[in-house]
Structure 1
Amino acid sequence: MIRKLIFTVICLLNYSNTILAQVVISPNKEVQLDFILQENGTPGYKIAYKNKAIIKSSKLGFTLKESENLDNGFTLLDYETSTFDETWKPVWGEESEIRNHYNEMLVKLKQESTGRLMNIRFRVFDEGVGFRYEFPEQPNLGHFVIEDEKTQFAMTGDHTAFWIPGDYDTQEYDYTESRLSEIRGLMDKSITGNLSQKSFSSTGVQTSLMMKTDDGIYINIHEAALIDYSVLHLELDDENMVFNAWLTPDVQGTKPYMIAPANTPWRTVMVSDDARDILASRITYNLNDPCVIEDTSWIKPVKYVGVWWEMITGKSSWAYTNDFKAVKLGVTEYGTATANGTHGATNKRVKELIDFAALHGFDGVLVEGWNVGWEDWFGHSKDYVFDFVTPYPDFNVDEIQAYAKSKGVEMIMHHETSSSVRNYERHLDAAYQFMKDHGYNAVKSGYVGDILPRGENHYSQWMINHYQYAIEKAANYEIMVNAHEAVRPTGIARTYPNLIGNESARGTEYQAFGGSKPNHVTVLPFTRLIGGPMDYTPGIFEMDISKLNPNNNSHVNSTIANQLALYVTMYSPLQMAADLPENYNKFLDAFQFVKDVAVDWDKSVYLEAEPGSYITIARKAKGTNNWFVGNVNGKQTRESNISLDFLDKDKKYTATIYADAKDANYKTNPQAYTIRKMKVTNKTKLSLNSVEGGGYAISIMEE
C-alpha cells in the first residue's frame, strides 16, 4: 500500500527554524523518524525510540566540488509513504529465513536556485532506521563530485562508545571503550602500528560504531550497500556531541565521483534497550538488493585447516628461498635456488594437513605461500609481484589436487596481491581460470600494504569498485571469495553470497603479534560483524607462541573454552581450525567440539549480551535438531545463567559442556577446561562459570 501526499506541511512550534516536518514510525510503533526541512531549506532528521530522543535534529546534504552545494535552499516537491513486509531465504546465514519489515518514506526535494532534484529515502524498522540519498536522472545534474557528505548524527549525551580510530586503510585495531568526550585524549594511544594505515583526525572513528547511553539505550551507527562510493567514517564535534560524516578520499584527495541517476549507500542507526536486539538485527542485509546469482548451489559453507598459523607465528615462512634479494617473475630462476628449510607450503606438509582434514571431517585445506614471488613481496612498491599461477618447486599443484581429491578434501587457493591492485586485475581472469582448472572453488585474497596505484587508499571509491569487481568476476567463475585487508562488509553478501568471508578487523593473527585485549571478541559482534561474517580464524589451543617459535614471546589472550565458543559467537560460514594439527592432537577431547560444530544455521537465539563484557548465543544447525551454544566472556569472571527453553518441548537431548575450569586463567592457565555430559530438555537451566577472557561451549544433540 502506497499513500501519496503532495505539499503537506506540518508546522511544529518545538522545531527551531523549522517550516516542515514529516513522520514515519516503525511497524511496532517504537522507533520514530522525523524528516525536517528548516526555514532556509536545509534538510535534516531526528530519531526517537520509545518516545525518547536518540538522534537529535541533524543536518543532511552535500558540498560539491566546483558546483553549488546540495545542503540548503530545498523545497518539498512531494513525499510518498509505504509499508513493506517480506521473508527471504539467505544462501547461508545465522538463520534460514530473514524477515524484512519496514515503513518507508521517500522525500522528494528540489533546490530552487539550481532546479536540481535530490530525494532522501527513509526506512524505519523495529530495531532502527536506514536512509540514503537518491539523485534521479535530471537535466540539471549529470556528472558531479562530492567534496563532503554533510550527514550528521547528533548525540543526546556523552555516551559510552566502543571505537577504533578513523583510518583510510585498516580496521585492524583493538577497540577502545570510553566516553565520547574522551576520544580526543585517547586517540594517540589507540593508534597502533600496521603495514598500511592513514588516520585523519583526533576525533575520527570508524563504523560500525557501538554506543550505550547512561539510561541503557544501545545505539549502533553503520552503513549498508556500499557500492561505487567511499567508506563512511565519523568525525566527532566533541563540543556539541555531533558526529559528522567523513568520506575516504582518493589519491587526489577527492571524494566520490557521481553520475546521476545514482544512490548513496544507506546510513543506518540501530537502537534498542536490549543489546541482544543489536546482534539479532538484519537491517544491514535487508537494505541490500536480493541475490543476483541465479544458481547458488556451488556456494557452500566451509570448515577448513591450513598452513597459516605456523607462518603467522614465525615457525614457517611464505618464501621458498633466502637466495634472492629481488625477484622478477619470468626472469628469476628458482630451479637452482637453495630451499630455506622453513617454507610452509611444501608437498609433504600440505599432504599432512590433507590427511588431518580427512581424518577429522574438515571440508578444505588453505595453502598460503605456494606461488613464486614471496621473497620480496612487501615494502618495495612493486607492481608485478605475483602471477597467481606459478608454484614454487616444492609445491606440485596437480599432485596436491589429486591427493586432496582422493581424500575427499577440497583445496582453497590463496591470492596475496600485496595491494598491487592493477597487477591483480590484469591477472584475475587467468588466476580464476587456473583455480577452476585445478578444482579450487574458494580463494582467500589479501591486500597487505600500501595500495598501488601509489597514494590510493584501501577504502576509497576506486578500491571499493575493485573489491566489487573481484567478487562479481569470481561469481562468473563460480568461485567463493574470502577477502582480507579489504573493506569491511556492508551486507553485500545478500546480493553476492559468494562473498563468503572477510577479515577487515583485528583477527587472531594479532594474538601472535603481541596479543589482543581479552574482551576483544565481546565487541566484534557488535561492530565489525554487523555488516557480515568475519574470517576470524579461531581455534588456537597452544597460547604460548614461544613453543612454536622461540623468537616469538607473544601470548594468546584467551582460554581454550573461549576459543571453542568463538565458533558460535563469531558467526561465519567460513570457519578455520587455525592451530597446528600437533596442538589439536594434545587436546582431542576439546577438539571434538570444533569437529562437531556447524557452520550454517536454521535459527539463532541471543541469550545474553553486553558489549565489551559477554555474549552468549545458541544456534540450531541447518537441517538438524542439534544446537550449539557459545559464551565468550570479557572483563571479569562471571556466572552465566541460561535457559534451554529454545529446545523443542517434545524432544530429549544430550549436552556436552566444555567450560573453563575453576582455576582457568587466560594468562597463566589457559588450557584448564572441563568436559561433562548431561541429559537436557527445554526446561533445563544452566549456571556456568566464565573467567576473564574465557567462556564455554555446548553441543546439544538430539537423542
Structure 2
Amino acid sequence: MLLLFVFANSLWAHAQEIFSPNKNLSLKFEIKENGVPTYQLTYKKKPVIQPSSLGLELKDMPSFMDGFSITNTAQSSVDNSWNPVMGEEKTIRNNYNELVVTLAQAKNNNRYIRIRFRLFNDGLGFRYEFPKQNDLNYFVIKEERTEFQLAGNHKIFWIPGDYDTNEYAYTTSKISEIPSLMQKATIEINSQWPIKELAVQTPSMMKSADGLYINIHEAALINYPAMYLEVDPVTNKLRSHLAPDAVGNKGYMQTDTQTPWRTIVVSDKATEILASKLILNLNEPTSYKDVSWIKPIKFIGIWWEYFVAGKSTWAYGVENNVKLTDDFSKLTTNGKHGATTERAKEYIDFASKNGFDAILIEGWNIGWEDWINNWKEEVFDYVTAYPDFDVKAVHEYAASKGVKIMMHHETSGSATNYERRLDRAFQFMKDNGYNSVKTGYVGKIIPRGEHHDGQWMVDHYIHVAKRAADYKIMVDSHEAVRPTGLNRTFPNWIAQESARGTEFESMGGLSPDHTTILPFTRLMGGPMDFTPGIFQTDLSYYGTGSTQRVNTTLVKQLAYYVTMYSPLQMAADIPGNYERFPDAFQFIKDVAVDWDNSYILEAEPGDYITIARKAKAKNEWFVGGITDENVRTANITFDYLPAGKKYIATIYADAKDANWNKNPQKYTVTKVVVTSKSVLKQYIAPGGGVAISIKEGTTSDMKGLNKL
C-alpha cells in the first residue's frame, strides 16, 4: 500500500494534460520545483502560453504561491446547449473538457485549494477555488500572481492599465514597444488612475508572428477586483494585477469562494476570435424565473445635441454652488436646458413616426449645475425634475404614442448616494412607466479612495442590476468596469459603455481603426452601448466654431449596427439630420437588434470586419462591413441564406469619391436579387463601410432588379 501511495503521488507530481474536444488545444499542468503550480497551452502544436506559474499572495498569511503537492485530480467532459435571453446566436453550444486539480500545502497544515481548467475548442478558462476548511475561512488578497508567458514579441492592441477608466484610444505595437509608447497612450481623461507598474487593460488582443490570434480576459467577475496585465517587455511575460481598494488591499474573501475565470481565446483565424462564446459559457445561467420583460431596445435621445449643437445643456441653471435642498425654480436659468417637456415631445413624435422603442432624456433631474469634479456626495436625488420638465405629462404623451422613456441616472461617481436612493428611484421609474435606465459613473468614486474597477464597485454594479430586476428594469451602465459575460447571469444588464465610444468623436475624435479593434477587445466581454448613427460628421456644420469631425463615412455609421453587437442600439444623431438623409435612415429603422445567427465573414483586428446576422424569428438578414483608414474591397458571401430561394438585397455603399475626411456623406443605395450562391465584391472607402439589408420579396418586387 505504501508503494502504491508513493507511485500515485509521483504520477500526480508529473504533468496532467487534457485536450480540447477537437484536439487542437492542449493544456498541461504540473508542479515545478519548490511546489510551484504551472500550466502551459498549445494550439495545433504551436505554443500559446509557455510554462507559467499560478498563485496568489495573501496579506498577513502564508501565500498560495508554492509548497504545493497534488492530492487529487479529476477530469470530466460537458457538451450541452443553452439559449440566451438576447444575443448574437439563438442557441450557444457549451462543449469543453475539464481538469480539476486539488493542491495542498503541507507546510501550512495541509491547507488546500483547487484550480479548475476548462478547455474549449476556442480557448481556455481557469480559476482558483477556495473550499471551506478548518484552516481557511477569511483571507485578504495582497495580489494575484497568475502568469501568461507568451511565446514571442507579439503584435498587441492595447490601452493603458487604469483603475478608473477604459476610455482610452487603442495603440497597436509590439509588446516590446509598450514602454516607449505608454506616456503618449495615457492621454488625459476624466477620473483616470493609471497603474504605476507597466500594465495594460484586458481584454488584450494579440497576434503572433506565426499567425495565432490570442485574446486574454476574464469571465464572471463577481465579488473580486478587475484584472489588468503587468507587462515584462523583455521576456514577453504578462502577469495579473488587481485593482486595489481605498487601503491598498485587493480582495476580501470568505470560503467557500472562487476567483473569476482567467480566459485565453486562441485561433489561427481572426473570425473565430469574434465568434467565440467561451466567456459567456463560463458565466452561470440566470436564476431569474421570468425574463419575458427583458427585451431589446432601439432608441433615440436628447443627448448628442449636448455635445455638438451648442444650443443645449444638461443643466437648467447657471449657478455653480447648488444643493439638492435648494429651490430650483428660483435658479437663474441658462436658457439652453435641453430636457424640457416640449423638447421631449418632439423626440417622442419622431420616435413614434419612425418605429423606435424608446427615447433617452438626459438632464431631466435637478443637480446638474455642479455635478462633476467636486467629489460631491449628495449630487442627485433621481426623483425631482427641473421646473421645465413634467415627468407625468411626458410619460402620458409617450404612452399615447406607444413609446417608452428611458431613465437616466448619473451618479457622478457617488455610489453611496445612489445606493441609498436606489429603491426610491426604481419605484419612481415604475410609477412613471420607465422600464430601462442608463446609469453613469463619471467622476471619482465615493466611497472616497475606491476605484471604478475595485471589488467594492464590482459588487455595486451587480447590486444595481439585481435590484433593478426586482422592479423589472433593464440597465445600461456607463463608466463601469468592463464586462465579463455577466449579461448571461443578469440578463437585464443589457449593455455597457466601458470603452471609448461615440461621444469622443466630439472630443478629439476616434481614429478610423478604432472600431475595427473594439470587437476584438472590449466587446469580447459583452455588448456595448457605442451610440452609432451619426450622419452629420463634420461638426462645423453647427456653427459653434468647432473644427472637430466624426472620423467615418456615413455608411460606416450604418454598418456599426451589425459589427458592434448590442441589444440596445441608439440612433444617436439629432432627428433633423436623419430627415436630411431619409434613404440611409431607412437602414437604421430596418436593422434588427436581436439575432438568431451571426456569421463572421472576414476580419483582421485593426484593419477590417465584415459580419452577417439573421434577425431573431424573421427571414431577414443584415450585413455590416467596416475598414480602417485604408480603402479595401469587402468579400461578402451569402451562403447562409436558404438554398434555392431569391431575396432582395438593399446595398448601402460608399460612393467612389467618399472618404472619412472628404465627402463622408457621399453614398449610393442599390437593390439587387441575391441567392445563397451570390458573392459581392464591394468597394469600401477609407474610413468607410457597407451595410446591406436582405429581405424576402415577391416576383413583382424583383421585377427589373439585377441578379448579383
TM-score normalised by the chain length of structure 1: 0.97
2:235 paired with 1:235: no
Which residue, 431, 435, 438 being the options, matches 2:432?
Answer: 438
Deviations 1:592-642 (A, max 9, x none): 000000000000000000000000000000001110000011141111122
Show the counterpart of 1:325.
Answer: 320
Structural mapping, 1:39-438, within 5 Å: 39-114=33-108, 115-201=110-196, 203-313=198-308, 314-322=310-318, 324-330=319-325, 332-438=326-432
How far 1:139 moved relative to its partner? 0.5
Give the structure 2 partner of residue 448 of structure 1.
Answer: 442
CA distance in 2, matches of 1:655, 1:611: 27
Corresponding residue for 2:539?
545
- For the structure 1 residues 117 and 19, does the alpha-carbon distance in structure 2 shift closer, same or farther, using more than 3 Å as the test? closer
User: Offset of 1:454 from its aligned partner?
Assistant: 1.5
How many pairs does the alignment contain? Answer: 691
Given that 1:176 and 1:190 are in contact with CA atoms closer than 8 Å, whether structure 2 keeps it comes out as yes
Question: Residue by residue, what CA displacement relative to the aligned partner does 1:257-276 show, whole Å, maximum 9, x if unpaired?
Answer: 11111100000001000000
Aligned partner (choices 453, 475, 480) of residue 481 of structure 1:
475
Contact 1:9-1:21 at 8 Å conserved across structures: no
Residues 328 and 95 (structure 1 numbering): CA distance in 2 closer, same or farther, change over 3 Å?
Answer: same
Q: Distance in 1 between matches of 2:307 and 2:22?
A: 48
1:519 and 1:97 map into 2 onto residues whose CA distance is 31
* Alpha-carbon separation, structure 2, partners of 1:630 and 1:315: 33
Q: 2 CA distance for matches of 1:422 and 1:198?
A: 20
1:456 Cα offset (Å): 1.1
- 1:658 aligned residue (630, 652, 656): 652
Conserved in 2, the CA contact under 8 Å of 1:315 and 1:549?
Answer: no
Q: Is the 8 A contact 1:561 1:695 kept in 2?
A: yes
Say which SS state the counterpart of residue 650 (structure 1) adopts. Answer: coil
Distance 1:426 1:164 in 2: 34
1:587 matches 2:585 = no
How far apart are 1:205 and its partner, in Å? 0.1
The change in CA–CA distance for 1:453 and 1:6 in structure 2 (over 3 A counts) is farther
- Given that 2:439 and 2:477 are in contact with CA atoms closer than 8 Å, whether structure 1 keeps it comes out as yes
Instruction: Please tell me the residue identity of whatever aligns with 1:134.
Output: E
User: What letter is aligned with 2:269?
Assistant: D
2-structure distance, mates of 1:238, 1:54:
17
Give, in angstroms, the shift of residue 379 of structure 1: 1.0
Runs of 4+ in 1 over 6 A off after TM superposition: none
Deviations 1:495-547 (A, max 9, x none): 11000110000000000101011110000000000010000000000011122
Question: Does the alignment pair 1:534 with 2:528?
Answer: yes
What amino acid sits opposite 1:153 in the alignment? Answer: F
**Worse overlay, 630-639 or 422-431:** 630-639
Between 1:446-455 and 1:222-231, the stretch displaced more is 446-455
The aligned amino acid for 1:557 is N
Aligned to 2:705: none
Unaligned segments of structure 1, at least 5 residues: 12-17
1: CA distance, partners of 2:8 / 2:561 = 52
Any conservation in 2 of the 1:48–1:55 contact (CA below 8 Å)?
yes
Per the alignment, residue 682 of structure 1 pairs with: 676
Kindly indicate whether the alpha-carbon contact (under 8 Å) linking 1:47 and 1:54 is maintained by their aligned counterparts in 2: yes
Q: Secondary structure at 1:355's aligned position in 2?
A: helix
Contact 1:195 1:449 in 2 (8 A): yes
In 1, the alpha carbon distance for the partners of 2:635 and 2:130 equals 51
Alpha-carbon deviation of 1:665? 0.7
Query: Of the candidates 493, 496, 503, which is equivalent to residue 499 of structure 1?
Result: 493
Deviation at 1:651, TM superposition (A): 1.9
Deviations 1:5-61 (A, max 9, x none): 9975677xxxxxx95210010000001100121131100100000011110000000
What letter matches 1:417 in structure 2?
A: T
Which piece of structure 1 moves more, 96-105 or 335-344? 335-344
Deviation, 1:289, is: 0.3
The equivalent residue for 2:704 is none
Query: Could you tell me whether the CA contact under 8 Å between 2:9 and 2:70 is conserved in 1?
Result: no
Corresponding residue SS for 2:559: helix
Give the letter for the 1:482 counterpart: D
- Counterparts of 1:562-601 in structure 2, within 5 Å, are 562-601=556-595
Give the direction of change, closer, same or farther, for the CA distance of 1:615–1:27 in structure 2 (3 Å limit).
same
Q: Which residue of 1 aligns with 2:15?
A: 21
Helix, strand or coil: the match of 2:266?
Answer: strand
| 3-state SS in 1 of match to 2:481 | coil
Q: 1:490 to 1:70 in 2, by over 3 A?
A: same
When structure 1 is superposed on structure 2, of 127-136 and 339-348 the one drifting more is: 339-348
Instruction: Tell me if structure 2 keeps the 8 A contact 1:19–1:39.
Output: no
Contact 1:218 1:273 in 2 (8 A): yes
Amino acid at match of 2:315: A
Is the CA contact (8 Å cut-off) linking 1:172 and 1:194 kept in structure 2?
yes
Contact 2:88/2:597, CA 8 A, preserved across alignment: yes
CA distance in 2, matches of 1:382, 1:446: 15
Answer whether contact 1:450 1:457 (CA < 8 A) is retained. yes
- TM-score, normalising length: structure 2: 0.96
Aligned-partner SS, 1:349 = helix
Tell me if the contact between 2:160 and 2:194 (Cα under 8 Å) persists in the aligned partners.
yes
The one-letter code of the counterpart of 2:295 is K
CA-CA distance at 1:409 after TM superposition: 0.3
CA offset at residue 202 of structure 1? 5.5
Aligned-partner residue type, residue 665 of structure 2: Q
Q: Does the 8 Å CA contact 1:302/1:575 hold for their aligned counterparts?
A: yes
Conservation of the 8 A alpha-carbon contact between 2:13 and 2:70: no
Q: Is the 8 A contact 2:299 2:569 kept in 1?
A: yes
Give the equivalent residue in structure 2 for 1:462.
456
SS in 2 for 1:358: helix
Q: Which amino acid aligns with 2:339?
A: A
Segment drifting more, 31-40 vs 414-423:
31-40
The 2-side partners of 1:328 and 1:6 are apart by 72
Q: Is structure 2 residue 484 aligned with structure 1 residue 490?
A: yes
2:238 & 2:139 partners in 1: Cα distance? 25
Aligned equivalents of 2:280, 2:10: Cα separation in 1: 33
Is the deviation greater in 552-561 or in 430-439?
552-561
Which of 596, 613, 623 is matched with 1:629 structurally? 623
CA distance in 2, matches of 1:339, 1:354: 24
Following the alignment from structure 1 to structure 2, what is the Cα–Cα distance between the partners of residues 337 and 466?
34
Instruction: Give the structure 2 partner of residue 15 of structure 1.
Output: none
Task: Please give the alpha-carbon distance, in whole angstroms, between the structure 2 residues aligned to 1:401 and 1:174.
Answer: 38
Letter in 1 for 2:302: V
2:32 maps to 1:38:
yes
**Shift in Å at residue 650 of structure 1?**
2.7
